[in-house]
Amino acid sequence: MSDPRILTVRPKEGEYAWTFGGAAPVARIEPGTFLDVYTEDCFAGRVRSEKDLVSAVCEFPFLNPQTGPFHVVGAEPGDTVAVHFVSIEPARDWAASTTVPLFGALTSTHTTASLQAPLPEVVWMWQLDRARRTCLFSARDSDIQVELPMDPMHGTVGVAPANLEVRSALVPDAHGGNMDTPEMRAGVTCYLGVNVEGALLSLGDGHARQGEGETCGVAVECAMNTVVLVELLKGVATPWPRIESDTHLISTGSARPLEDAFRISQLDLVQWLARDYGFSELDAYQLISQAGEAPLANVCDTNYTCVAKIRKNWLPAGDPHRGLHRHLRETAALLPTP
């Protein structure tokens, strides 16, 4: 085997992207390239203590910095970029979470207005034990502490949108973006439909862990050292971001209201089974209705994100996305351990 192509990217302050679309690529990469990247947390590293309120240390709309974009050579509209997450490792021993006024699932928002005061702005600092793989929650209003298992993931991964659109890195949609699903962990492959030449792939928003729904709107936010393997699937369209793990097929849908995000993800999974496993759409609809899972990703962002997933071992023989996940898994296993 020839030496793998590895591009290491450690952005400096001022070198992050804040949108999908509208940003010049930081590099051109050939399909089959490993990206070894550093991503900053959603606060750009500025929330470092309980005294660092987001409203004081961050400047809207400069939230959720992305590493990239990367121009994938040969990617054209109608193709699919595959992003295999080889490893996702917190870059620091601490992480931050917070409530943000008029943001989150259990508060009034700008789009769900009501006559009540916003929730107070409170910061929780989480201590990460990277050796033991734990995240320590310390309550603000008591001496309660709870140790949770670490489950690193990326809240945001995506490509440039279609139709010349430029979207904030806070927004999830058909291009990917800020989907905030815990399914985006090491070992999975994310499939993204290409909308512009080169795809313009970016990622960021690392979470040491996150509950389904991301109820308060903010996870255990931390900087990450992440390795991904990027591949290109020519002539295969992916209308909404899909994730494949060793055990599940996973479709996403992002929209408001929440039931539309649910419908998008369910329909995409139906169509995925019809395309790659030989089901009729009605048979796939029936099987997913009885065998599918539907965890929430986020119910707080500008668009909500739902997930539809089904176990592979309940499906007949198939070749999802031409067996690319299996190939990328095998290729990633050959990468030398640092």
**pLDDT of res. 334:** 86
Q: What percent of the chain has pLDDT over 90?
A: 92
Q: How many CA atoms lie within 13 A of 235 on its CB side?
A: 1
- 300 Cβ partners below 8 Å, 6+ apart? 103, 104, 105, 180, 213, 214, 215, 216, 217
Q: What percent of the chain has pLDDT over 70?
A: 99
Laid out side by side, the sheet with 224-233 consists of 5-9, 33-39, 224-233, 80-90, 189-193, 242-244, 248-255, 304-311, 296-298
Which of 338, 67, 108 has the alpha carbon at shortest distance from 201? 67
**pLDDT of res. 338:** 62
**What is the per-residue pLDDT across 197-254, written as a single tens digit (0 to 9) for each?**
999 999 999 999 999 999 999 999 999 999 999 999 999 999 999 999 999 999 999 9
Query: Measured between alpha carbons, how far is 87 from 254 in angstroms, rounded to an integer?
Result: 25
Report CA-CA distances (Å) from 305 to 6, 34, 99, 259, 308.
32, 28, 20, 10, 10
Q: How far is CA 317 from the centre of its chain?
A: 28
Report CA-CA distances (Å) from 226 to 42, 152, 199, 267.
15, 10, 20, 31
Going by the DSSP 8-state scheme, the letter that residue 153 receives in this structure is E
Token representation of residue 201: 């792939």
Token representation of residue 107: 């508060």
Q: What is the mean pLDDT of residues 115-144?
A: 96
The yes-or-no verdict on residue 1 having pLDDT over 60 is no
The yes-or-no verdict on residue 111 having pLDDT over 90 is no
Burial of 337 (0-12, 13-18, 19+ CB in 10 A): exposed
Farthest-apart Cα atoms in the chain, separation: 64
What's the one-letter identity of residue 101? P
Q: Using the Cα atoms of residue 230, residue 234, residue 237 and residue 243 in order, give the sign of their dihedral.
A: negative
First to last CA, the chain: 18
**How many Cβ atoms sit within 10 Å of the Cβ of residue 240?**
22
**pLDDT of res. 228:** 98
Query: Measured between alpha carbons, how far is 137 from 159 in angstroms, rounded to an integer?
Result: 34
> Can you say whether residue 14 is alpha, beta or left, with left for phi > 0 and alpha for psi between -120 and 50 degrees?
left
**pLDDT of res. 60:** 87
Query: Measured between alpha carbons, how far is 68 from 70 in angstroms, rounded to an integer?
Result: 5
**pLDDT of res. 172:** 98
**What is the per-residue pLDDT across 267-314, written as a single tens digit (0 to 9) for each?**
999 999 999 999 999 999 999 999 999 999 999 989 999 999 999 999
**pLDDT of res. 336:** 77
The yes-or-no verdict on residue 259 having pLDDT over 70 is yes
**What is the per-residue pLDDT across 50-105, written as a single tens digit (0 to 9) for each?**
999 999 999 888 999 999 999 999 999 999 999 999 999 999 999 999 999 999 99
